[in-house]
Structure 1
Amino acid sequence: MPTDSRLPRVLHVLLHLDQIDSPVTSQQIGEMLATNPALVRRVMAGLRDAGFVASTKGHGGGWYLLKSLTEISLADVYAALGAPQLFAVGPSSDNPTCLLEKAANKATADALEAARSVFQDELAKMTVAELIAPHAETIKAFQQRSGTSHS
């Protein structure tokens, strides 16, 4: 089963948007993530709906932050992505009237819910801005050497 890497990829994009002074096109984001600009627009729409980003059309247009990364938790971003399923494990439906299958499904569902709760609690503890803190000095040095405002 393929993994869903939207959360770390979107966090990556948000960190770059914070470092860049002008709007970034879906094409540019697509190139950064090695993906299609149409897919970028679809994923970014969830962030727009959550009030984290906006976009402008036309020459010089693109995506930009509406909200400071200090105000956006990782849990907020996860929710804006539609809270993707964490695990490939799911209920059995071989014999839905069997009480033993029902018991097995309930135990599995309870464990999955507990794991989901822990995952979301951990995401809620950190803002997107905090992700950059361990790398702040390296990024600052890079920017000074290259004369850029992004990494």
Structure 2
Amino acid sequence: MGLSSRSAVAIHALTMLARWSDKSLTSAEIADSLASNPVLVRRILGSLRDADLVRSTEGRGGGWLLARAAREITLHDAYTAVEAGPVLSRHPHPPSDACEVGRNMQALLEAEFQDAERAMEERLSQTTIADLVQQVLTIERKIGRSAR
């Protein structure tokens, strides 16, 4: 499948929900922060809900909330909730077996790509949404800003 922006949108949304955990946020509020479309945000939030990372409330004052503590949600959790398939694209069809490069490249790339994807998974598992909230707050304090 390859890289997409879904995981970045998911992590952004989760970080917003964690930052303002005292209230629910609408998909429109999250979309404003992303400078994006609320429909796209709702699709991403639906995938996050399916992964038990967020929950929604209906009616007046309804919106989205984290389903568990921000310190319990890793970037890898968010990534796997919204992305399907490998990060790095494989050959779309088998290369030529008549060529020494072609007949060996798939196996060589598969090993390299699996190692790279495993390293990415390990790295994303080290950072939580709570870590990102702290980083945002630290940056905002340094530049003297607060709240949206």
Equivalence for 1:51: 52
Deviations 1:51-78 (A, max 9, x none): 1111122221111112111001111111
Partner in structure 2 of residue 10 of structure 1? 10
Match of 1:106 in 2: 107
Contact kept? 1:91, 1:109, Cα under 8 Å: no
The residue aligned with 1:147 is none
Does the aligned pair in 1 maintain the 2:24–2:65 contact within 8 Å? yes
1:3 CA displacement:
5.5
- Shift in Å, 1:97: 5.4
Return the offset for 1:31.
2.2
Gap runs ≥5 in structure 1: 144-149
Q: Secondary structure at the match of 2:55?
A: strand
| SS of equivalent to 2:80 | helix
Aligned structure 1 segments of 4 or more residues deviating by more than 6 angstroms: none
Structure 1 residues 96 and 16, CA, compared in 2 at 3 Å: closer, same or farther?
same
The CA distance in 1 between the partners of 2:34 and 2:137, in whole Å, is 22
The one-letter amino acid of 1:17's match is: L
TM-score normalised by L of structure 2:
0.80
| Residues 3 and 102 (structure 1), Cα distance of their counterparts in 2 relative to 1, 3 Å cut | same
Q: 1:9 to 1:139 in 2, by over 3 A?
A: same
Q: Which runs of 5+ in 2 are unaligned?
A: none
Normalized against structure 1, the TM-score is what?
0.78
